[in-house]
């Protein structure tokens, strides 16, 4: 295989192609489960509280055990970890199918399975990311990271739509069955990944010691630590808007669910374009682009708040999706740029842990929206992004000049 288009140069590596397809199918499986699970719970309990409790179950392991998962990913064979995690995910999906067919399903089953999915992802995600530097040259690694994120965006666009149709036309168990088959295919593809030969390293330290060592490394590496902090500040101000889209549609645009669907879809399309944009970038002024994307996101939020017209919102939120979609892979690229490869899994797990806190930003934004109105909150978040990105631009010269 020889792809000459720079945007897709990582696909010249066959092992990378296998990881990309396996990861994309795995995310499709996750997305289908998430949609079917939410529909089934609300249909059978009528409780938004139970829906929220089950929904947050998968995030709990990320908050508490992600650094351990990262240490495991750095220490052990990443391919074997991927296969083990994929097998467990497949088993969970099959368990749900059996429970539904036998009419034994209760929402508590999904709560336990959600915790299981979270534990799996706390190891599976870092393992997949830690494998990338082992199969890709350093010059191609940024492109590979961005394309992996693009694959996730594609899965996030397609899988929920397919799951919704299957749920309505057939049954919830059929959605879980399809999800389990996607896990099977993802697992089979992962079996064909060839691990590069490396000298065996005997570890005598505990896994917890390795996890603590990763945290110490992050704290001692000032550029990596600062990029993570700056990125989290940006994301904390961007993330509430995605969860509050329904409020915007109902209270500002005076529309029903079809209006929400188009807005969410355009955010997803913008995010995918942002991923591809980062994959296409030459290794120049990446730090400046990272800051600019946060500034663009702030401008988009300001525009949505100041122009209460639905079609204008659709267009503007596409740019917001582009900015957010570009920021996440760019943050990873900047953090991994000069990092010791033996810490990749642990640092990726820390990023995942911080993203597990993202839903916490939605609660105060939601409460404030009830008091002040959604447009006021969006403009506050937009101003916050403009101020923090501008301060970063003028005070963090090292980041501004980073390639």
Q: What percent of the chain is helix, strand and coil (3-state, nearest 5)?
A: 85, 0, 15
Of 196-205, 243-252, 303-312, 346-355, the one with minimum mean pLDDT is: 196-205
What is the pTM for the complete model shown?
Answer: 0.76
Of 57-61, 161-165, 392-396, the one with minimum mean pLDDT is: 57-61
Query: What pLDDT is stored for residue 302 in this prediction?
Result: 92
The answer on pLDDT for 166 being more than 60 is yes
Q: Model confidence over 213-232: pLDDT tens digits?
A: 777 887 888 888 888 889 88
Given a contact cutoff of 8 angstroms between Cβ atoms, the answer to whether 221 and 343 are in contact is no
Better-scored residue on pLDDT, 175 or 362: 175
- Cβ of 191: how many Cβ atoms within 10 Å? 12
Average pLDDT, integer, range 148-172: 82
| Residue corresponding to tokens 């149709």 | 165
CATH 1.20.1250.20 range(s) for the chain read 1-192, 207-403
- Which contacts of 379-383 are long-range, i.e. CB under 8 A and separated by 24 or more positions? 379/301, 379/302, 379/305, 379/306, 381/237, 381/238, 381/240, 381/241, 381/298, 381/301, 382/298, 382/299, 382/300, 382/301, 382/302, 382/304, 382/305, 383/298, 383/302
Q: Which CATH superfamily hosts domain 207-403?
A: MFS general substrate transporter like domains (1.20.1250.20)
Given a contact cutoff of 8 angstroms between Cβ atoms, the answer to whether 305 and 375 are in contact is yes
Q: How far from each other are the two terminal CA atoms of the chain, in whole angstroms?
A: 29
The answer on pLDDT for 257 being more than 60 is no
pLDDT band per the 50, 70, 90 thresholds, residue 387: very high
Query: What pLDDT is stored for residue 5 in this prediction?
Result: 67
| Residue corresponding to tokens 């399975």 | 113
Query: What pLDDT is stored for residue 200 in this prediction?
Result: 45
Q: DSSP letters along 54-116, please?
A: HHHHTHHHHHHHHHHHHHHHHHS-HHHHHHHHHHHHHHHHHHHHHHHHTT---HHHHHHHHHH
- Cβ of 391: how many Cβ atoms within 10 Å? 12
pLDDT band per the 50, 70, 90 thresholds, residue 49: low
C-alpha 47/C-alpha 271 separation (Å) is 31
C-alpha 3/C-alpha 109 separation (Å) is 46
Average pLDDT, integer, range 303-311: 89
What residues contact residue 163 under an 8 Å CB cut-off, 6+ apart? 31, 32, 35, 36, 175, 178, 179
The answer on pLDDT for 293 being more than 90 is yes
C-alpha 394/C-alpha 189 separation (Å) is 47
Q: Model confidence over 10-32: pLDDT tens digits?
A: 888 888 899 899 889 988 888 88
C-alpha 306/C-alpha 309 separation (Å) is 9
Q: Per the structure block, which two tokens stand in for 65?
A: 């055990």
C-alpha 24/C-alpha 30 separation (Å) is 10
Given a contact cutoff of 8 angstroms between Cβ atoms, the answer to whether 322 and 277 are in contact is yes
Q: Model confidence over 77-110: pLDDT tens digits?
A: 788 888 888 888 888 888 888 888 888 888 888 8
C-alpha 131/C-alpha 117 separation (Å) is 21
C-alpha 153/C-alpha 155 separation (Å) is 5
Of 69-73, 303-307, 361-365, the one with minimum mean pLDDT is: 361-365
- Helices (H), strands (E): how many in the chain? 17, 0
pLDDT band per the 50, 70, 90 thresholds, residue 57: confident
Given a contact cutoff of 8 angstroms between Cβ atoms, the answer to whether 46 and 171 are in contact is no
Q: Which CATH superfamily hosts domain 1-192?
A: MFS general substrate transporter like domains (1.20.1250.20)
Per DSSP, the three-state class of 162 is: helix
Query: What pLDDT is stored for residue 3 in this prediction?
Result: 59
Query: What pLDDT is stored for residue 48 in this prediction?
Result: 58
Per DSSP, the three-state class of 269 is: helix
CA distances from 32 to 172, 181, 211, 219 (A): 10, 12, 32, 37
The answer on pLDDT for 63 being more than 80 is no
CA distances from 97 to 39, 100, 154, 155, 202 (A): 15, 5, 25, 22, 42
């Amino acid at each position: 295989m020889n792809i000459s288009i720079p945007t897709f140069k990582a696909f010249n590596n066959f092992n990378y192609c296998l990881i990309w397809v396996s990861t994309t199918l795995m995310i499709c499986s996750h997305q289908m489960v998430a949609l079917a699970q939410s529909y089934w719970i609300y249909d059978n309990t009528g409780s938004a509280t139970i829906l929220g409790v089950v929904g947050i179950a998968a995030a709990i392991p990320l908050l508490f055990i992600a650094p351990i998962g990262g240490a495991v990913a750095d220490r052990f064979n990443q391919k074997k970890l991927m296969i083990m995690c994929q097998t467990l995910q497949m088993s969970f999906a099959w368990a749900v199918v059996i429970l539904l067919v036998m009419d034994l399903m209760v929402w508590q089953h999904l709560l336990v399975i959600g915790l299981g999915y979270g534990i799996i992802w706390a190891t599976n995600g870092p393992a997949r990311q830690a494998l990338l530097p082992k199969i890709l040259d350093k010059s191609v690694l940024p492109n590979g990271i961005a394309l992996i994120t693009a694959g996730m965006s594609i899965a996030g666009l397609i899988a929920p739509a397919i799951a919704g149709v299957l749920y309505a036309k057939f049954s919830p168990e059929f959605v879980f069955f399809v999800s389990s088959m996607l896990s099977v295919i993802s697992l089979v593809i992962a079996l064909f990944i060839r691990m590069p030969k490396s000298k065996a390293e005997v570890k005598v330290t505990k896994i917890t010691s390795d996890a603590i060592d990763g945290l110490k490394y992050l704290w001692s590496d000032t550029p990596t630590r600062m990029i993570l902090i700056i990125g989290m500040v940006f994301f904390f101000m961007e993330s509430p808007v995605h969860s509050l889209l329904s409020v915007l549609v109902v209270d500002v645009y005076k529309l029903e669910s079809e209006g929400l669907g188009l807005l969410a879809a355009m955010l997803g399309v913008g995010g995918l374009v942002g991923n591809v944009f980062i994959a296409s970038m030459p290794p120049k002024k990446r730090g400046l682009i990272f800051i600019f994307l946060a500034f663009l996101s702030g401008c988009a939020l300001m525009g949505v708040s100041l122009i209460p017209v639905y079609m204008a919102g659709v267009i503007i939120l596409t740019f917001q999706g582009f900015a957010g979609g570009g920021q996440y892979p760019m943050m990873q690229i900047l953090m991994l740029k000069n990092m010791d490869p033996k810490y990749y899994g642990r640092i990726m797990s820390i990023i995942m842990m911080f993203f597990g806190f993202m839903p916490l930003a939605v609660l105060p934004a939601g409460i404030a929206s009830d008091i002040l109105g959604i447009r006021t909150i969006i403009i506050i978040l937009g101003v916050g992004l403009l101020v923090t990105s501008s301060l970063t631009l003028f005070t963090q010269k090292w980041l501004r000049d980073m390639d």
